Amino acid sequence: MTYTAPVDEMIFCAEQVVGQSRLAATDRFAEATAEMRAAILAEAAKLCEGVLAPLNRAGDLHPARLENGVVRCTPGFADAYRQIAEGGWVGMAASPEFGGMGLPQSLAVMVNEMMASACLSLSLNPLMTQGQIEALEHHAADWIRALYIPRLVSGEWTGTMNLTEPQAGSDVGALATKAAPRGDGSYAITGQKIYISWGDHDVAENICHLVLARLPGAPAGTKGISLFLVPKLIPDGAGNPGVANAVRPIGLEHKMGLHGSPTCVMAFEGATGWLIGPEGGGMAAMFTMMNNARLGVGVEGLAVAEAASQKAAAWALERRQGRTPDGSATIAGHADVRRMLMRMRAQTAMARGVAYDCAFSLDMARAAEDGAERDRHAARGAFLTPIAKAFGTDTGIEVASLGVQVHGGMGYIEETGAAQFSRDVRVTAIYEGTNGIQAMDLVGRKLAMDGGEAARSLLAEVATTVDSARDGGLGEVAAALGEAQAAAGRATDWMLAQTDMTERHAGAADYLRMWALMLGGHYLARGALASGETERAALARFAAGRMLPEAVALSAAAMAGAADLYAIPAGRLGG
């Protein structure tokens, strides 16, 4: 696959649309100047274009395999991972106390986007480790932080997240894995976990598993769950990987896509582990990692959308087929192909804006000097997280599907690579809580945490953009964005008025999508105003005419209630 990192577009979105340059004005991120950020992104682009992208097809054709109890990865992955680790890319946002760079999460998100565009299967490995680093920084005992985090930051060791069991998927509280205290501060962990990304491999010297399990006498449900760190190889007195722990992969999932990423069934057979956080605090600790991963997975969807868009546009500019209305020599001149390419570009830009804005808010929640400002950004970031995850992954799926369509019959032929994008990205809408769960989180916990204040604050930001667009000569954009903003306000008021959560949940997916499209139009309008470029204005007008009206319709669907969903008995839904 040929991939060109869109560094200029990424910087424009971060700086001109979202305003991430404000981070350099804080004490915490004072060194993250525009010049430093540009230099880092340029180096990351070289790695992604020259090392990772050539492996994307290899990962699909030569999957990871389980041999004699050890997972062997795609040829070339180990060397590429070594270059990721040695370049310091795993620990970009980690604390300097543990060897990290201490850079903004928003910059790490941009690098992660490039890596996922270039080779999604391999990029999952450092992404999981980054989430584990954050969880250990917040919840682990000092000795664990001192021993494990520097090795995770350096990439010598990698991290995983072990939640799902055959009977306990989204219902995490149904898990059966047991943890028994040994009396020496360690615990014996016994159980089976499934769908464990990079649960075993041969690209690093040790693997650190975060495992949810239940202590003796713990209450049922999520309140009885604790979190444990279980290494593949137990460190010796010098901190080096020592004896093998009683944890092993017993199978690899045969997946629709992401063949280069080993997804393991893991057996814990009295494995030695250590408690992370308090007893019964497993879900709170794991959610630190999961929230990091939710934004990360949304970025994966965005990344595949970018890569699929590049491939489709290149194909459209070389494929000759029929006469075109504008006399172009290739299919890029056909109106319907142009419609698809415009939609791909606009929706990718929308998803990028949501993800970058979310990351910026989470950074400001840590870096702002004023406590009230930190709280405001924390609430803003929390509200944007499920939108970034769900819309980013939906965008990856939809744009990859359009990419196949642009290729025509050749899109269905594996050699072109267009189909791989669709297969690889499909699971992202399921990862880290399905997109339906993200939507229910948005209308439930995220609206409830502040009575809708974060939502109303964002609506006010969009209203300001409406005024600016009207004054800036983008009247049709202002009109469409204003209608979407008003519709979102009505839907938000309706959601907050519902005391029956089933009523909210029935329209949750529509509500989230409405927000994403409205925010996307807001970002495109800001980009057009900031640049003054005719192309950006054209993209904003395209979205205003063809995408923002969807937000108004989705507002009505969000307020439809639950009655129609339950009008047919469940047993009759199959026809």
- Residue 547: the pLDDT is 98
Q: Which of 306, 283, 455 is nearest to 380 (CA)?
A: 455
Residue 24 has pLDDT above 80, yes or no: yes
Q: Which of 295, 384, 294 is nearest to 106 (CA)?
A: 295
Q: Give 326's pLDDT tier (boundaries 50, 70, 90).
A: confident
Candidate list 306, 432, 483, 503, residue with the active-site label = 432
* Average pLDDT over every residue of 89-113: 96
SS3 of 108-171: HHHHHHHHHHHCHHHHHHHHHHHHHHHHHHHHCCHHHHHHHHHHHHHCCEEEEEECCECCECCC
Total number of domains constituting the chain: 1
Share of the chain above pLDDT 70, in %: 100
- Residue 325: the pLDDT is 83
Give the H or E element holding residue 227: strand 225-231
Q: Which tokens sit at 369? A: 């000097």
Residue 190 has pLDDT above 70, yes or no: yes
Q: Give 171's pLDDT tier (boundaries 50, 70, 90).
A: confident
- C-beta separation of 100 from 92 below 8 A: yes
Strands 233-235 and 225-231: unpaired
| Domain containing residue 447 | 439-562
Question: In b/e form, how buried is each residue of 462-494, taking b as 16+ CB within 10 angstroms?
Answer: bbebbeebbebebeebbebbbbbbbbbbebbeb
pLDDT in tens, 406-426: 999 999 999 999 999 999 999
pLDDT in tens, 518-544: 999 999 999 999 999 899 999 999 999
On whether residue 233 sits in a domain, the answer given is: no
Residue 182 has pLDDT above 90, yes or no: yes
Report helix angle 120-139 to 105-118, nearest 10: 150
Q: Which of 31, 33, 7, 3 is nearest to 20 (CA)?
A: 33
Question: In b/e form, how buried is each residue of 44-64, taking b as 16+ CB within 10 angstroms?
Answer: bbebbbebbbbbbbbbbebbb
On whether residue 456 sits in a domain, the answer given is: yes
pLDDT in tens, 469-497: 999 999 999 999 999 999 999 999 999 99
On whether residue 505 sits in a domain, the answer given is: yes
Residue 169 has pLDDT above 90, yes or no: no
Q: Give 289's pLDDT tier (boundaries 50, 70, 90).
A: confident
Residue 210, SS3 per DSSP: strand
Whether the model pTM is above 0.85: yes
CB atoms near residue 182 (< 10 Å): 12
On whether residue 524 sits in a domain, the answer given is: yes
Residue 269 has pLDDT above 70, yes or no: yes
| Stated length of the chain | 575
Q: Give 168's pLDDT tier (boundaries 50, 70, 90).
A: confident
- Residue 518: the pLDDT is 98
- Residue 85: the pLDDT is 98
The rounded distance, in Å, linking the Cα atoms of 333 and 20 is 37
Residue 432 designated active-site: yes
On whether residue 409 sits in a domain, the answer given is: no
- Residue 284: the pLDDT is 85
pLDDT in tens, 25-64: 999 999 999 999 999 999 999 999 999 999 999 999 999 9
On whether residue 93 sits in a domain, the answer given is: no
Q: Give 235's pLDDT tier (boundaries 50, 70, 90).
A: very high
On whether residue 509 sits in a domain, the answer given is: yes
* Average pLDDT over every residue of 274-290: 88
pLDDT in tens, 331-357: 999 999 999 999 999 999 999 999 999
Q: Give 286's pLDDT tier (boundaries 50, 70, 90).
A: confident
Strands 225-231 and 263-276: antiparallel
- Residue 1: the pLDDT is 53
* Average pLDDT over every residue of 204-225: 94
Average pLDDT, the chain: 96
* Average pLDDT over every residue of 179-204: 97
- C-beta separation of 485 from 511 below 8 A: no
pLDDT in tens, 112-153: 999 999 999 999 999 999 999 999 999 999 999 999 999 999
Q: Which of 158, 157, 177 is nearest to 167 (CA)?
A: 177
On whether residue 508 sits in a domain, the answer given is: yes
pLDDT in tens, 110-122: 999 999 999 999 9
